[in-house]
């Protein structure tokens, strides 16, 4: 094949080159009985009951980072969106948009990332699409994944169910994904052992929902971090939140690195964490359930829902002070001085 081991426009032409690319590099790794016929659509036979349907696009740069890559992210992100809706993931679609010039070996690693994450999540890729676009810059690849899941009967989730007195939990240490990606941005590269936490969370959510605790609300704190979810929660529920900084799980390395960059760890992205609101009395049970799963070992109760006015998020800081928590406007940037 021409192109010296890289994607060329012909790979998107729908002809022989496209067919070969799919067979050799994609379907061979993701194959399953629903995908293999390569028909124009996948036929699913979900059990009775409501279906949850979600989609997400992934544009992360660089494509690979400590602890993961755009492929792993694309699977985990969509599986997690289903999970926090209280849906059992059933199937995913995979849309690849490749730029000409993309090296095959990089593409191979990313498809491997997709395959491994899908296996981990126990969700098949049942349909997909591949397009090639003209080169825009370096290492170009975009992914869209959509997912369907079946809504669990025991999941009664929503901001409307949140009440004062409820407990606020997080399943583990924060800010690792965002810092891992920053650490390999071409222009900011710094040495760190921090790795992305990207992981499929349905197993963890299953444990939590199956524990019998009254779970009122779930969300994964991705872009805009824990701060974003807390701000959403206060806005959507109309209740204030009180959060203990000391209770939020975080490593010393993350604290130090964020501090060095002038970033607030609360606003940094996670890709393998879930924030849960549960009835106050059920907090111990919920915590135990989360901690019983490998992805929830470091889960913690970090705060509570209160009736304070106005309905804002207040952080009780390590030193005993108070401050507000708000969602960042865009992506927070490292400081200048």
Partner 1 sequence: MDKEGIRGIVDEIAALASGSDRMNLMEVCGTHTVSLFRTGAKSLLPETVRLVSGPGCPVCVTSQAYIDLAGELALRPDTTVCTYGDMVRVPGRRGSLEALRAEGAKVAVVYSARDALAYARRNPERHAVFLAVGFETTTPATAATVLEAENEGLKNFYILGGHKRIIPAMHTLLSAGEVPIDGFLCPGHVSVVIGAGAYEPIASHYRKPCVVAGFELEGMLRAILLLVRQAVRYEARVENTYGAAVTVEGNRAARELTERVFEPSDAVWRAMGRIPESGLDLRPAYRRYDAMDRFGLSFGSEVTPHGCLCGEVIQGKALPTECALFRKKCTPREPVGPCMVSMEGTCAAWYKYGPARAEGGGNR
259 binds partner 1 per the rule CB under 8 A: yes
Q: Cβ closer to partner 1: 294 or 319?
A: 319
Is residue 283 within 8 A of residue 301, CB to CB? The reply is yes
Residue 169, both tokens: 């939990």
Least spacing, CB of residue 320 vs partner 1, in Å: 4
Instruction: List the one residue out of 224, 231, 227, 226 whose CA is nearest residue 311.
Output: 231
Residue 64, both tokens: 């690979």
Q: Cβ closer to partner 1: 22 or 182?
A: 182
336 binds partner 1 per the rule CB under 8 A: yes
For partner 1, which residue of 1, 9, 281, 324 counts as binding (CB under 8 A)? 324
For partner 1, which residue of 15, 165, 238, 262 counts as binding (CB under 8 A)? 262
Radius of gyration of the chain (CA): 21
* Alpha helices (runs of H) in 85-201, residue ranges in sequence order: 104-121, 176-183
292 binds partner 1 per the rule CB under 8 A: no
The H or E element containing residue 128 is: strand 125-133
131 binds partner 1 per the rule CB under 8 A: no
Is residue 264 within 8 A of residue 178, CB to CB? The reply is no
User: Is cis: bond before 170, omega within 30 of 0?
Assistant: no
164 binds partner 1 per the rule CB under 8 A: no
Q: Cβ closer to partner 1: 16 or 309?
A: 309
312 binds partner 1 per the rule CB under 8 A: yes
Q: Cβ closer to partner 1: 18 or 326?
A: 326
Instruction: List the one residue out of 269, 304, 272 whose CA is nearest residue 286.
Output: 304
For partner 1, which residue of 28, 32, 55, 317 counts as binding (CB under 8 A)? 317
Interface contacts to partner 1, rule CB under 8 A: 185-188, 240, 259, 262, 264, 308-310, 312, 314-324, 326, 329, 332-337
């Amino acid at each position: 094949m021409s192109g010296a081991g890289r994607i060329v426009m012909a790979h998107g032409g729908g002809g022989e080159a496209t067919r070969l690319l799919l067979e050799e590099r994609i379907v061979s790794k993701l194959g399953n009985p629903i995908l293999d016929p390569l028909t124009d659509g996948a036929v699913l036979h979900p059990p009775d009951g409501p279906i949850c349907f979600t989609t997400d696009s992934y544009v992360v740069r660089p494509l690979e980072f400590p602890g993961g890559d755009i492929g792993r992210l694309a699977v985990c992100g969509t599986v997690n969106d289903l999970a926090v809706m209280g849906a059992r993931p059933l199937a995913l679609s995979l849309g690849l948009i490749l730029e000409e010039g993309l090296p095959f070996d990089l593409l191979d690693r990313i498809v491997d990332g997709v395959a491994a994450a899908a296996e981990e999540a126990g969700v098949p890729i049942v349909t997909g699409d591949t397009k090639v676009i003209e080169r825009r810059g370096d290492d170009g690849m975009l992914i869209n994944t959509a997912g369907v899941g079946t809504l669990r009967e025991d999941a009664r989730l929503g901001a409307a169910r949140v009440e004062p007195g409820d407990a606020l939990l997080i399943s583990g240490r924060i800010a690792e994904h965002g810092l891992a990606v920053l650490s390999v941005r071409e222009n900011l590269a710094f040495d760190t052992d921090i790795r992305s936490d990207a992981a499929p969370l349905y197993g963890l959510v299953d444990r939590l929902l199956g524990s019998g605790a009254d779970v009122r609300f779930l969300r994964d704190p991705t872009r805009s971090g824990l701060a974003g979810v807390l701000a959403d929660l206060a806005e959507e529920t109309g209740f204030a939140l009180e959060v203990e900084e000391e209770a939020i799980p975080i490593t010393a390395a993350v604290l130090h690195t964020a501090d060095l960059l002038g970033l607030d760890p609360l606003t940094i992205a996670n890709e393998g964490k879930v924030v849960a609101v549960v009835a106050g009395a059920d907090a111990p049970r919920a915590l135990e359930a989360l901690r019983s799963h490998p992805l929830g070992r470091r889960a913690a109760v970090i705060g509570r829902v209160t009736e304070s006015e106005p309905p804002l998020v207040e952080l009780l800081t390590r030193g005993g002070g108070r401050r507000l928590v708000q969602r960042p406007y865009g992506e927070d940037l490292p400081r200048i001085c």
